[in-house]
């Protein structure tokens, strides 16, 4: 049990980390063998090789991952095995999977833990830890989306204030121009042009 939990820790933490360095995918033949091994393992409600499958899945290319997901999904749907459900949740919870896959993984884990369907304590602890980490990640994503929404709203408000300020500055400049014209006209009335002054001798 201790060995499982120790080996499980980096896997669970990996679900909340940023994108990992891109590893070279397994050769196609090795991927085919891994998929066959994962699907052909007898379903006996002993959750074996879960973390091995998780690691192998992370080394596959896009085509290999899709095939393995399809096969594990089909096995789970046909057998109703809680271990296959946990296996599928693990594969869907990989850090580079889309959000919809992680949401599906959370749903699968919630069903497993809510119905107490897992056969042993180790599998239950794995499911519980994974669910906890995925929930934290989901909560953090929601907070990030809310912060982005607020930032966008503040940016929009700043743009509107800048436009209003520009309009007020333009109006102020127009008023200054009007005032300057009035002052010039008033000055011309008070001080007539010297060309209009009579130069007749006294």
* pLDDT per residue as tens digits for the range 171-185: 888 888 888 888 888
- On whether the pTM is more than 0.75, the answer is no
Instruction: Check which CATH number belongs to the domain holding 90 and give it.
Output: 1.25.40
pLDDT in tens, 32-45: 666 665 554 444 45
68 by Cβ neighbours in 10 Å (0-12 / 13-18 / 19+) ranks as: buried
Q: Residue 102 contacts by C-beta under 8 Å, 6 or more apart in sequence? A: 15, 92, 93, 134, 137, 138
Cβ of 195: how many Cβ atoms within 10 Å?
A: 5
pLDDT in tens, 133-152: 888 887 887 888 888 888 88
The number of distinct structural domains making up the chain is 1
- Tell me if 110 is assigned to some domain: yes
- Tell me if 44 is assigned to some domain: yes
What is the mean predicted confidence (pLDDT) over 153-162?
86
Percent of the chain whose predicted confidence (pLDDT) is above 70: 71
**What is the extent of the structural domain holding 114?**
7-15+22-140
- Tell me if 113 is assigned to some domain: yes
Q: Residue 113 contacts by C-beta under 8 Å, 6 or more apart in sequence? A: 124, 127, 128, 131
- Tell me if 130 is assigned to some domain: yes
What is the mean predicted confidence (pLDDT) over 54-79?
89
């Amino acid at each position: 049990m201790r060995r499982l939990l120790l080996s499980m820790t980096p896997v669970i933490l990996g679900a909340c980390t940023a994108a990992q360095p891109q590893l070279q995918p397994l050769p196609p033949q090795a991927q085919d063998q891994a998929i066959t091994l994962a699907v052909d393992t007898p379903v006996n409600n002993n959750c074996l090789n879960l973390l091995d499958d998780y690691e192998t899945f992370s080394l596959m290319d896009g085509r290999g991952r899709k095939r393995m997901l399809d096969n594990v999904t089909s096995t789970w749907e046909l057998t109703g095995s809680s271990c296959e459900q946990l296996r599928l949740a693990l594969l869907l919870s990989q850090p580079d999977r889309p959000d919809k896959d992680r949401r599906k993984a959370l749903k699968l884990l919630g069903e497993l833990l809510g119905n107490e369907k897992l056969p042993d304590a180790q599998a239950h602890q794995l499911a519980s830890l994974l669910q906890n980490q995925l929930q934290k990640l989901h909560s953090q994503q929601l907070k990030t989306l809310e912060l982005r929404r607020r930032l966008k709203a503040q940016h929009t408000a700043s743009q509107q204030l800048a436009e209003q300020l520009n309009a007020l500055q333009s109006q102020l400049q127009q008023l200054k121009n009007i005032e300057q014209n009035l002052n010039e006209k008033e000055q011309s009335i008070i001080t007539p042009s010297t060309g209009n002054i009579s130069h007749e001798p006294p």
